[in-house]
Structure 1
Amino acid sequence: MELRVLPSSSWRVSRGISRGSEMAAGTAPNIRDVAELAGVSHQTVSRVINDHPSIQPQTRARVEAAIKTLGYRPNSAARSLARMRTGRIGAIVDSPEHFGPMNTLRGVEVASRRAGYFLSSVSVNDDSVDAINQSLEFLLDQNVEGLCLIAPRLPLLEVIRRRGLQIPSVVIATDTAHLVDDNGLQASVDQELGTRMMVDYLLELGHTRIAHLSGPHDWGDARSRRATFEATLAAHGLTPAAIVEGDWSPDSGFAAGPGLIEGTGATAVFSANDQMALGLVHYLSEVGLRVPDDVSVVGFDNTPESAHMIPPLTTVRQNFEKLGEMAIGSLLARIKGARVERETLRTQPSLVVRSSAGPRPATQRSR
């Protein structure tokens, strides 16, 4: 007896013959025998048996060959049970240590629970294809009914798109160019609206020399906020006083201070998040500049700490709870069989005015 799909694994073939001999002696093979012979997990074997659409063709071929070699017969009752709904949704979240992804995951979890579903989540923190595939396999092995991808950066989506997904999914990301499929669901907070509201607010205060402390370029939210910042100024015949890229951390905000302030004539700085704004305010204090008397500083996110900065930070609030409700609502509609065309969902942010921004100074700074 020969297992052609694994010609280099002779020990697996001989074991298959041994299992066949055991069958003749009255010992039937089980699902773990099939998994061992095919070189996969027993959950993967179960998904092949139940014709789960997420299985790649080469994996399916290996499992089916092992089933044939061993003469394995799946239990019909177990198959029926496996095909029942599990009431479980999977989530893969990129960079969960950051405020946006962390709170998006929280919003998705709350919305799932309210809908009567459990959420199984895994996190990825690098661009490793193997790590992303392993995370996906972990969730699929739990027979999740749908998948939520919280993808602030593109690598996660690129890997999933190349692999392909045959279960309902929703992408929570600003970028729409790399959806998982052509009829995909995509949800996000309206970054353009939030940025326009903030820049317009600074313009209303009389500022014409506005600098931008941007987030890292590989984040969709950072790219959207920067592009909208520049476009909004251009619509008023203005150009940025300066643009410096940070990494979302307070330390990067502090380090960006000289590039944003020295010799730029900036009277206001729009920071792409509150944490970098915190570091920038620290820098301004160190060099003897007052906020907002000398320089106005505004942020984005409305983190819990932003209300207690000195001075309290004017910022943009993102409604992550509403985002989770919209994303999970549309995902569940697909899980339950609704025909949903490609759809882009947006929640509206809101401006939170505090005391870190004021009117443009009457006199120009000497530095």
Structure 2
Amino acid sequence: MEMAERTPAKTPRQGRVTASMADVARLAGVSSQTVSRVSNGYAGVNEETRRQVLAAMKELGYRPNSAARALKRGEFRTIGVITFSLSSTGNVRTLEAIANSAAAEGYAVTLLPVALPTQDEVRGAFTRLEELAVDAVIVIMEVHLLDAATIMLPPYVQVLVVDSDAGEHYTVVDTDQAGGSRTAVRHLLGLGHRTVWHLGGPADSFAAQRRTDAWRAALTEAGCTAPPLIRGDWSAESGYRAGIELAAREDCTAVFVANDQMALGLLRALQERGRRVPEDVSVIGFDDIPEAGSFMPPLTTVHQDFAEVGRLCVRAVLRKMRNPDDGARGTTLVPTRLVVRESTAPPSGAR
């Protein structure tokens, strides 16, 4: 089918602000109903006709009215994601996994960053949801900021929380932080280290707290005394500062670090102070970032399956959207696994 003769109507380049469905139909030589079926992705349209309609849309700069389509379908096919930190490797990789999984299901993602982890900022993010066309919200944030008494959720918007212990109040998807931490500690004790030091994350992080609690519990179960906890802020710089402190301790032969970025800074500090890894000090990280195998030495670490976290988040929130009366709560844990590389070995006295 050939394109119909162009009408005198101006194209966007000629000064027309918005092309209508009728304009597309006239240019393509089809009915408005056919244009609607093409723009909504319905089957049953001849492929040649579909190409003609799409060419007319491109020529006129026509954009289907997604809001109108959403009203007809009862959904916007968009998921909002609220997070207060994009500097954390875990948050960024979780966000990427959610976006990829949502796209695979035909959904877009709208990011609502929160500048500061405060109640007012979080309340503002949920308020902005009322102005946006989203069907559901995935929150990557500390759960104590989600106070139902002060935050009004938009009606019919389903909420899922990542990295939280809010299973009694929300649907939660999380990595098995405790299981991964116990595996890391047991690996070091199994190599012959008498105890394991811990460089933990920020005190207000639930993930950091779970890793710290599991570290201490694993040492207690093994009959070992837990050394004093050292805290960082997830950054390589804080790992470096902690490494300077630990390098001065001859009794420190093994360190479990709460994330790989801090482990990177720790490795640098140990090297600068003449403590060899793993000959003098064994180091384990957490996350298994893509660069972990390129550290010097390659880092033994706990692998988090961010892709699976994203897939489960999207699957769970879509299930809630399709069954809004389902009041199911609880936490789904994604297993971790230890990736053994060259930064861990038996202590020098045990070789």
Give the TM-score taking structure 2 as reference length.
0.75
8 Å Cα contact 1:96/1:102 also seen in 2? yes
Alignment of structure 1 residues 323-362 onto 2, 5 Å: 323-337=309-323, 339-362=326-349
CA distance in 1, matches of 2:190, 2:98: 36
Distance apart, 1:136 and its partner CA: 2.0
Distance apart, 1:240 and its partner CA: 2.0
CA distance in 1, matches of 2:71, 2:195: 65
CA distance in 1, matches of 2:328, 2:203: 30
Change (3 A) 1:106 1:270: same
Q: Which residue, out of 137, 146, 166, partners 1:157?
A: 146
Distance apart, 1:91 and its partner CA: 1.0
Distance apart, 1:241 and its partner CA: 3.0
The answer as to 2:297 corresponding to 1:308 is no
The 3-state SS of whatever aligns with 1:149 is strand
Identity of aligned residues (%): 35
Alignment of structure 1 residues 244-323 onto 2, 5 Å: 244-263=230-249, 265-323=251-309
The answer as to 2:92 corresponding to 1:102 is yes
Paired amino acid for 1:322 = E
Alignment of structure 1 residues 1-367 onto 2, 5 Å: 81=71, 84-151=74-141, 153-154=142-143, 156-158=145-147, 162-165=150-153, 166=155, 167-176=157-166, 182=169, 184-263=170-249, 265-337=251-323, 339-362=326-349
The 3-state SS of whatever aligns with 2:242 is helix
CA distance in 2, matches of 1:176, 1:264: 41
8 Å Cα contact 1:210/1:267 also seen in 2? yes
CA distance in 2, matches of 1:360, 1:161: 53
What do the CA deviations read for 1:85-106 (whole angstroms, capped 9, x no partner)?
1111111012111101111111
CA RMSD of superposed structures (Å) = 2.4
Q: Tell me which residue corresponds to 2:32.
A: none
The 3-state SS of whatever aligns with 1:200 is helix
Distance apart, 1:128 and its partner CA: 3.7
Bigger shift: residues 205-214 or 120-129: 120-129
CA distance in 2, matches of 1:242, 1:156: 29
Instruction: Give unpaired runs (5+ residues) of structure 2.
Output: 1-66
CA distance in 2, matches of 1:258, 1:242: 15
8 Å Cα contact 1:173/1:186 also seen in 2? yes
Change (3 A) 1:292 1:241: same
CA distance in 2, matches of 1:273, 1:307: 14
Q: Aligned pair count?
A: 282
CA distance in 2, matches of 1:362, 1:79: 70
CA distance in 2, matches of 1:252, 1:210: 19
Distance apart, 1:340 and its partner CA: 4.6
Give the TM-score taking structure 1 as reference length.
0.72
Change (3 A) 1:142 1:349: same
Distance apart, 1:156 and its partner CA: 3.5
Paired amino acid for 1:168 = Q
Instruction: Give unpaired runs (5+ residues) of structure 1.
Output: 1-76
CA distance in 2, matches of 1:345, 1:206: 34
